[in-house]
Amino acid sequence: MLTAAGLVPFTTIDYPGHLAAVIFIQGCPLQCPFCHNYALQKEGTPTNITWSEIDDFLMQRQKRLDGIVLSGGEPLKHKEINELIKRIKSLNYQVAIHTSGVYPAHLKENLPWIDWVGLDIKAPWAKYDKLTGRTGMDKPVLESLRLLLNQSIKFECRTTCDPRYLSVDDIRQIGHDLSDFGVKRYVLQQYRTFDGDIDPPQDSEIQSFFRDTALLNELKELFPDFGVRTS
């Protein structure tokens, strides 16, 4: 069952270059220890928003927003997401998806209606099991990546830099691997602490990736479109 977990009515960050809103979907198969939306991992938790309220919002914001971002959780976990995507497109919005890439078949099914994808690359492939809490997750993510590379759809790969789990060398490895695959846009995202964060890193640790000019210059050389996201 597709459960709405929240709505952000306006953002300029989650769909780069566009004015958008974000609908959060409950449920994710991963158990990443650094997940900012860990409360959305489990399905069945009561929420304070209904699909009727979301549909009213979509009707009211037509021509005022460029697009709607579907995030989570993992929105592509649910086959019913196709109905929501088609509803959003019928109202003349663009559709953006934030995904971990672990459901390549669902991604492929929905690509005809999707305008942009943000693909989270959690870790170097050798660390994927440890950092997602599941075994074998690197394989479907790679399948999703290959799928996007073979389509004309716009997408970015991005990595959230939690210094408790990733090092500069890890980021360097991810960058080289993605560049070798042919990825054009890669973004480093600053880790943000949150209420309930267990043993959160210090600000100086969080910023260490973004002060490392050698790392940033190396990544700029690897990608035609490289960026950092610190807000």
Report the predicted TM-score, pTM, of the whole model to 2 decimal places. 0.95
For the segment 52-58, the average pLDDT, to the nearest whole number, is 97
Q: d(Cα 82, Cα 190) in Å, to the nearest integer?
A: 31
Instruction: Look at residue 44 and tell me whether its pLDDT is greater than 90.
Output: no
The DSSP secondary structure of 82-120, one letter per residue, reads HHHHHHHHHTT-EEEEEE-S--HHHHHHHGGG-SEEEEE
The hierarchical CATH code for the domain 4-229 is 3.20.20.70
pLDDT at 196 (0 to 100): 74
Token readout for 174 is 């991810």
Average pLDDT over the chain, rounded to an integer: 94
Q: Please enumerate in sequence order all residues whose Cβ is within 8 A of that of 202, keeping only pairs 6 or more positions apart, or say none.
A: none
Per-residue pLDDT of 182-214, as tens digits, reads 999 999 999 988 877 778 899 999 999 999 999
